[in-house]
Amino acid sequence: MTHSHFSEFYKKTKVERIKALLDAKVIQIEDALLLFENPALSDQLADNMIENQLTQYSLPLGVALHFLIDNQTYQVPMVTEEPSVIAAASSAAKVIAQAGGFKTHLSERKMIGQVALKDVPNLAFALEELASHKVAILEKANDAHPSIVKRGGGADKVEFRTIPATEHSPTFLVVHVHVNVLEAMGANIVNTMMEAIASFIENLTHGKILMSILSNYATECLATATCQIPLSLLKRGEYSGEEVRDALIEASQFAYADPYRATTHNKGIMNGIDATVLATGNDWRAIEAGAHAYAAKSGQYRSLSVWEKADNGDLKGSLTLPLPIGFVGGSIGIHPTAQFSQRLLSIKSAKELESVIVSVGLAQNFAALRALVTEGIQKGHMGLQARSLAISAGASGNEIEYVATELKKQTHMNLETAVSLLNSFKQMN
Ligand code: NDP
């Protein structure tokens, strides 16, 4: 389950880590060379990805280990600027792997497109017209993107919603079209379809088109990860397994009830999700927007995950959120590091990537809550924070380790202390 090549992975140098991945046959020699080179995007590629390109902005890509998901092991690429995220994900995944790993459940991969109408003169007439033209609406949507239909996907369901007037807004009539986007995230596919059906819908309803675009509230593309952890694996320091389980359940209940806590609880989940979404070349704003909307689906913003007691006394966790990520499309196919991430994961489909990402979110949540209800979050965090402070103070090479280690012993860990520790190290050597 856990590769022997990966023992004490975090203590290895970058070169040793790459070699361990190579020895474990997780990556091929071409990828090892790619990692040594620290490749940047070519200027030509960068210039074609966005407008007004000036330079590039780098972030570290690391690997989280020990993920056992639906009986498969995964080495998960994560891109983040935040210390501790990858360590926490790996450590939680290790415990959960010992408990049998993550189990995932995925809905179909459908995106919703919206055509919004205003000033509809007769709502009842418009709804009747729309209902009797569902097939024609679907046909026109599919005619606008025949290649997705040829691949086995396309628009397959139409729904209508009326958004009643409020003191700040008039009544809107909204046509929802569900589109099976197969291996893509689907934004462009859906937008093309919605723009293509807009005038037909306008003619049917005698209303005025306000806009035609996909919704990022991807409630037809949901991913769930669950895990069940026995008390023996929850024991931590002076805390018994039972104490950790009960405290985690209370932490989960608190995040369900209090939006101030739920926001931070969900931020911790997104620490893992965003990092993998980014590493695989996906649109993390789309995932963020959908996740937070889903967290507010009851009318109150709540936690995305739930931790509870299983019938046999184990701790049971589950996380559900919309995960409309792509395996193809957008910049995924042209970004060399996104391509590397797919090879590192050794995934073959968007669904498999969804399973990995939702599991990373649950692992991250478990790690954060376990730390919060036991030793506190700062202990782990400050270790890496100390290294950042040491570097900010001007330390390099072996000075970083010395300054970081000494900083962790101080009551006030700040830049001033880091500078003075660095100065005394320089005087000693
Ligand atoms: P693309 O426009 O790149 O479309 C994906 C293309 O991949 C399809 O058109 C299809 O082309 C091709 N393809 C090849 N194999 C498959 C397969 N098996 N399944 C599905 N498609 C396949 O990307 P998306 O439509 O996914 O849009 C994603 C991009 O849109 C992201 O970059 C996102 O940032 C951006 N975006 C997001 C918005 C939002 O979230 N609100 C709004 C606008 C843009 P073919 O069949 O012709 O070969």
The number of the ligand 1 atom at minimal distance from the alpha carbon of 289 is 40
In the chain, the largest separation of any two C-alpha atoms, in whole Å, equals 86
pLDDT for 387: 82
Tell whether 63 and 126 lie within a shared domain: no
Report if residue 12 sits inside a domain: no
Cα(274)–Cα(330) distance, integer angstroms? 17
Which is catalytic among the residues 220, 283, 314, 354? 283
Cα(347)–Cα(98) distance, integer angstroms? 22
Is the pTM for the entire model greater than 0.85?
yes
In which domain, by residue range, is 394 found? 379-428
Residue nearest (by alpha carbon) to ligand 1 atom 16: 183
Tell whether 209 and 164 lie within a shared domain: yes
Which is catalytic among the residues 316, 335, 381, 408? 381
Cα(108)–Cα(186) distance, integer angstroms? 13
Tell whether 387 and 356 lie within a shared domain: no
Query: What is the CA(105)–ligand 1 centre distance, in A?
Result: 24
Tell whether 306 and 249 lie within a shared domain: yes
Closest CA to 290 of 221, 339, 354: 221
399 is catalytic: no
In this predicted model, what pLDDT tens digit does every residue of 88-133 receive, in sequence order?
Answer: 999 999 999 999 999 999 999 999 999 999 999 999 999 999 999 9
Q: What is the mean pLDDT of residues 181-194?
A: 98
The CA radius of gyration of the chain, in Å to the nearest whole number, is: 25
208 is catalytic: no
Query: What is the CA(331)–ligand 1 centre distance, in A?
Result: 9
Question: How many C-beta neighbours within 10 Å does residue 297 have?
Answer: 11
Cβ proximity of 212 and 113 under 8 Å? yes
Residue nearest (by alpha carbon) to ligand 1 atom 10: 148
Report if residue 416 sits inside a domain: yes
In this predicted model, what pLDDT tens digit does every residue of 199-215 receive, in sequence order?
Answer: 999 999 999 999 999 99
Sheet holding 154-163, edge to edge: 154-163, 172-180, 110-118, 208-215
Check the CA dihedral 411-413-414-417 and report its sign. Answer: positive
Which is catalytic among the residues 14, 150, 208, 267? 267
258 is catalytic: no
- Alpha helices by DSSP H, listed for 280-374, are 284-295, 336-345, 350-373
Cβ proximity of 204 and 129 under 8 Å? yes
| Res. 159: pLDDT tops 60 | yes
Tell whether 330 and 192 lie within a shared domain: no
Report if residue 124 sits inside a domain: yes
| Res. 262: pLDDT tops 90 | yes
133 is catalytic: no
pLDDT for 106: 98
Task: Read off the pLDDT band of 1 (50, 70, 90).
Answer: very low
Tell whether 240 and 348 lie within a shared domain: yes
Query: What is the CA(305)–ligand 1 centre distance, in A?
Result: 29
Q: How many domains does the chain have?
A: 3
pLDDT for 427: 87
pLDDT for 381: 62
Tell whether 238 and 96 lie within a shared domain: yes
Q: What is the mean pLDDT of residues 70-97?
A: 97
Tell whether 322 and 408 lie within a shared domain: no
| CATH number of the domain residue 406 falls in | 1.10.8.660
Residue nearest (by alpha carbon) to ligand 1 atom 40: 286
More confident residue, 275 or 424: 275
Residue 190 half-sphere exposure, CB side, CA atoms within 13 Å? 28
In this predicted model, what pLDDT tens digit does every residue of 134-154 receive, in sequence order?
Answer: 999 999 999 999 999 999 999
pLDDT for 410: 85
Cα(383)–Cα(407) distance, integer angstroms? 9
Tell whether 155 and 245 lie within a shared domain: no
